[in-house]
Chain A
């Protein structure tokens, strides 16, 4: 039996997990961009995070024969820092057309503020 895991945050998991996932029949994953457990304070840390999703994670997964895809987005929790959010929105087009990027995400509401609506 082969599986695709459509929602997993591999950047928070160990390489040992990749090995076990491959052994269980997982052939591909989709990793939606998320926050870091605390708000980012500048767009540079966003850029490095998104680059790691399309770079290092893709390489790490491939070592176990797993295809790594991701969804790229500004998390709602961080939309409330409007200056940062604007910078990140400008950055997203640099990633959206890449080979492994399959969707915008993850998106949704956190506090349902006007800034999140925007």
Chain B
């Protein structure tokens, strides 16, 4: 089943008959009428017609999502978000028109619509088309909109060029969003990002402010030169959570000098075994 068919099935199962009928007709109207205004009206009406409950999904549904579109994780979607993306996907046979309408929708969106449109990014046809849309979206000050793109969304790691990727990770730290829900975080790590993050850590230290332990996850595997001194500093002076974070990050270190930092502290190395980033952050 395609993502559009899955969304339609989940919503039909969950919505009261009246709302399900409305959504069905609205999607058909969007698909067949050729009038962009039909899409804009229907998308606006969704919260009134469909409501804002969570989308109820079983483990099987989540597996279906992932096999339909690898990396797609609708676990935290709400019914209104699902319905809005479903309406947009009514145009999936015409990628150029879908992209044009999505820009229009984003230009006049309210805060919850924006989050829905960006959560839908991995489902729109002709994926590379939406890089500019996604990076524009990340410039927001609305944290839920930022996280709709950055968290549990396979789009950035698949499509972003390195500079855009690095800026997203740095901004996540800057606005206090956790890094662990970012998909592809380890795979897309790079030396330039590690350098940017160490600069950022130094800024925070100079101002006497705390540094997120998650920052080191993107540094350890690419650390060399002065970055090793930064890691060493945290291993010596950091809190227990920070030291565990550096230990975790060094498990993937490529530089022998970096790997040695960890083997010099067998107790810490042992304690970090079996730890995950998600658990490390929630424990702190």
Q: How far is the CA of A93 from the CA of B45 in the complex (A)?
A: 11
B41 near A59: Cβ-Cβ < 8 Å: no
Contacts A47-B108, A54-B111, A97-B44 known; 7 new A-B pairs at CB < 8 A: A47-B107, A55-B111, A55-B114, A59-B142, A94-B44, A98-B44, A98-B113
Number of interface residues of B (CB under 8 A): 19
Looking at the assembled complex, report how far the CB atom of B52 sits from the nearest CB atom of chain A, in whole angstroms: 9
Chain B interfacial positions (CB closer than 8 Å to A)? 37, 40-41, 44-45, 47-48, 107-114, 141-142, 144-145
Which residue in chain A gives the minimum CB-CB distance to B112?
A: A99
Which residues of chain A come closer than 8 Å to B113, judged between CB atoms? Answer: 98
Q: How far is the CA of A98 from the CA of B44 in the complex (A)?
A: 5
Tell me if A3 counts as interface (CB < 8 A to partner B).
no
Q: How many A-B residue pairs have CB under 8 A?
A: 48
Number of interface residues of A (CB under 8 A): 18
Q: How far is the CA of A99 from the CA of B111 in the complex (A)?
A: 10
Q: Which single member of A47, A93, A99 contacts B110 (CB below 8 Å)? A: A99
Which residues of chain B come closer than 8 Å to A51, judged between CB atoms? Answer: 107-109
Which residues of chain A come closer than 8 Å to B144, judged between CB atoms? Answer: 59
Chain A interfacial positions (CB closer than 8 Å to B)? 47, 50-51, 54-56, 58-59, 62, 91, 93-100
A95 near B108: Cβ-Cβ < 8 Å: yes
Looking at the assembled complex, report how far the CB atom of A63 sits from the nearest CB atom of chain B, in whole angstroms: 9
Residue of A47, A91, A97, A100 with most chain B CB atoms under a 10 A cut-off: A97
A56 near B37: Cβ-Cβ < 8 Å: no
Q: How far is the CA of A59 from the CA of B145 in the complex (A)?
A: 10
18 contacts between A and B (CB under 8 A): A50-B108, A51-B107, A51-B109, A54-B111, A55-B109, A55-B110, A55-B114, A56-B111, A58-B111, A59-B145, A62-B111, A91-B108, A93-B37, A94-B44, A95-B108, A98-B44, A98-B113, A99-B112
